[in-house]
Structure formats: C-alpha cells, structure tokens
Amino acid sequence: MGHRIVIVGGGAGGVELATRLGRSLGKQGRAEVTLVDLHLTHVWKPLLHEVAAGSLDSSENDLNYLDQGKRNGFSFQLGRMCGLDRKGKRLLLGPALDEEGRELVPARALSYDTLVIAIGSETNDFGTPGTAEHCTFLDDREQAEGFHRQLLGRYLRAHACDDGQRDGMVGVAIVGAGATGVELAAELRHAASEMAAYGLDEIRPENMRISLVEAGPRILPPLPERVARAAHDKLVRLGVDVRTGSTVEEVRADGLQIKDGDFVPAALKVWAAGIRAPALLKDLDGLESNGKGQLVVERTLQTTRDPDIFAMGDCAACPLGEEGDKTVPPRAQAAHQQASMLVRSMKARIQGGELPRFTYRDHGSLVSLSSYSAVGNLMGNLGSDVKLEGWLARMFYASLYRQHQLALHGFLRTGLLVLSDQLGRSTEPRLKMH
C-alpha cells in the first residue's frame, strides 16, 4: 500500500494539489491520493460573481472531480468533514445529502498517512442582525445560482406588471466593497443592459438600482489607493451608488439600515463583507486555531500540533515571514503557490527528506469591472508596482483563470477550452436566462 494522502476541499488549491500529486505520485503507485469535497464539481471561486449575474453558465465552466481524478491518478470521495481522529489518523465524514435531504452517501471514516486541509473560507456577517434571513452569500455555486434565479425572477415579474407596480422591484444592495462586491456591482450593470436587449426592457438598465455599501473609508482596501480610486470612479460613471464609511446596523426585508440613520432600499441583498474560516476548525481534535478560526501552521504548512496534518489556503494561518505576526493573505494566488510547494513537500515526506518552507510572493491584484474595464497592479521584481487599467488589465485578469486551467488540464486541453469558449460566444446567449 502506498503512502495515503487525503486532501479535504476541492477549491482552487485543493484540486490543483490533488491533480499534480495524482500525476506525479498516484499514477506511479508511489502514493494513494484522495480528494474529498461536499460537491461533485468545481467552479473557480473568483467566477462566482459572474454566475450570480448570469454572465457565466456554471454548468459549462465546471470541473467534475470524478473525471478529473480518472484522468490524473487520484480518487474522489463525496462528503463533508465533520471531525478528526488524530490518534487513529482518520478523517471523519458526515453523510452527503441530496437537495431533498435524503442520504446519498453514509457517514464514514477515511484513513490517512498525510492529511491536507484546504476547506477555504466562508462569508463573515459579523453577527449583523438580519443577514441570514435577508442576504445572499456567494460562498459556492449553489448560492450564486440562487441569486441569479432571484434576479431573473424580479425582472420577469416587472415585465408582467403595470408601470406603477415596477418601482423598486429590481434594486440590489451589496455589502462589502472588496473584490467580490466591486466585481459583482459592475457585472450586474452589464447584466441590466443584456436584460433589456433580450426584451425585458420595461426596466431600463439605468433604472436597476445598484448600491455598494462599504464600512471602510474606501473600496478595495487591499489595493493601492490610486487603483481603488480608478475603480470607484468607473463604478460611479456606470451608475452604481457607492457608499463608503457606511456600517450596516441591520438588514431588513426591504433594505439596509445604516448606523448613521440612513437607509438603503433594496429588494435583493448580497453580503460580501469579510471572510472567516469554517467553524469546524475551532478546536478540531486539539489542533491550534487563531481568533479568525484558521488553523495555525508552520511555514512548512504543517499544523503546529500535528506534523502529519497540513493546512493551506484561506483556512490556514501561515506566517508571512520569519518575524512578526502577519500571516499570508487569503488570496487565490497564495493557494496556488502553496499547492505548488506541497507537491514538493509530499515527495519529500515519502522520501524522508527535509520539507520546503513557504515564501509568499505577491504578484499584485486585478479586479474585473465586467466588459467595461479592469483595474489592478502588478508587482515588479524590485518590489515596485505598476498600475494597470482598461484592455491590458482585462487581458491579465483573463489570464488568471487560464493559469488555473493550465494547472488542471495542461496545455493541450486548456488550448481546446479557450477555442471552445471563443466559438461559444458566437453561438450561445450572452446572458443566462434560466
């Protein structure tokens, strides 16, 4: 029996790691690589705002874990991690249920020699009253598709109503002006134009009220101020109501109550303000976690209390450098870099060698403003950054997804996917209308 490597979480980092380990170790019989996820398919999380707006059909841009495993030498198990038996080196999985709550796969345990936890993050509502009842989160494909159905339903009802009944039927408030909130606001403005082109023109594009509400002093806090300002100005020109310094006190069925007494009316609400690690990780069979619920790891990505358990991506608190209390930021490029390092780490473990240590390299950030533009910065070799905007920024932004596809499919299949996407644009609807 080969070394048993179990990876929990099929997000960008987890599926890239499983794919590369399957190719290099699984196919050679040097290890048994197993990927565990609650869903059967993977959609790149940075695309979920497009799924929510209807600009992207998730069924045409997903990846089936079973097929990916067959092609690349790893196995897949459907299930949700519900606990851990470190002494017995077993991962505990709860039952997987269908949409009607019926059991598809029973609860069970998987044995491992090395466990990698890569279950990502979830939206943090900071305990704000009314968020669970009245807001949509964009943590996964199902939530994004659910919002799209709500949006389309609002338009269809408005299409069937008299003029006097349409006011306020399609108003969207987005809480949180990080990358997800900003990208969703721009994508919704694009979707409004497409809705009108498809005949749902009783609500003109400019009459779809989109509010972007941010508690901080500016949008896109992680990006340089000049980049954030360019995005802010573009959103305003697109007709988005951008409100900074506005903390949401309560979410109601008809909108957002702001702490300063203001009120933002909205039929649809999306909460995209902050992230946190899944609650399961706190006190997970004695593993150390921080105040954000992340598993604390060494720079080898091994958890501090168990060298056979690794954590990566948003759910891991990895030191940013040798000194200080800063940790690696929860970004897609960090998960990609950690997956690349862990491929070397798993080979070293099997061979009894020394494990590499993770060094995060910030390559900059890019934010899409739908078909209108993109903004961002790229980090230079000497630590300086270069501001990008417009067509060039859009090309770099598109390349991020292609890099993810390259890691999963290789050059040939990725090239065919690019060709298929180009052909599809001329034969398929530009907006998902179902």
CA proximity to 176, closest of 58, 276, 295: 276
* Model confidence at 112: pLDDT above 60: yes
Of 319-323, 349-353, 417-421, highest mean pLDDT: 349-353
* pLDDT for 17: 97
Cα angle, residue 181 at apex, residues 44 and 301 outer, rounded to 5°: 50
Q: Could you give all domains of the chain from N- to C-terminal order, each with its CATH number? A: 3-121+277-351 (3.50.50.60), 131-273 (3.50.50.60), 364-415 (no CATH)
Mean pLDDT is lowest, of 134-148, 182-196, 205-219, 406-420, for 406-420
Query: H helices within 276-322, ranges in order?
Result: none
CA proximity to 21, closest of 72, 91, 78: 72
* pLDDT for 432: 65
pTM: 0.90
* pLDDT for 382: 43
Rounded average pLDDT over 104-125: 94
pLDDT tens readout for residues 56-98: 887 777 899 999 999 999 999 999 999 999 999 999 999 988 8
Is residue 165 exposed (0-12), middle (13-18) or buried (19+ Cβ within 10 Å)? exposed
Cα 383 to Cα 121, 276, 380, distances in angstroms: 29, 29, 5
Chain-wide mean pLDDT for the chain? 88
pLDDT tens readout for residues 252-301: 999 999 998 999 999 999 999 988 999 999 989 999 999 889 999 999 99
pLDDT tens readout for residues 335-380: 999 999 999 999 999 999 999 999 999 888 888 888 888 888 776 5
Find residue 94's DSSP bridge partners. Answer: 80
- How crowded is residue 317: how many other Cβ atoms within 10 Å of its Cβ? 23
* pLDDT for 280: 94
* pLDDT for 166: 54
pLDDT tens readout for residues 381-390: 444 566 677 7
Assess contact for 42 and 361: CB atoms under 8 A: no
* Model confidence at 23: pLDDT above 50: yes
pLDDT tens readout for residues 159-181: 676 554 555 567 899 999 999 99
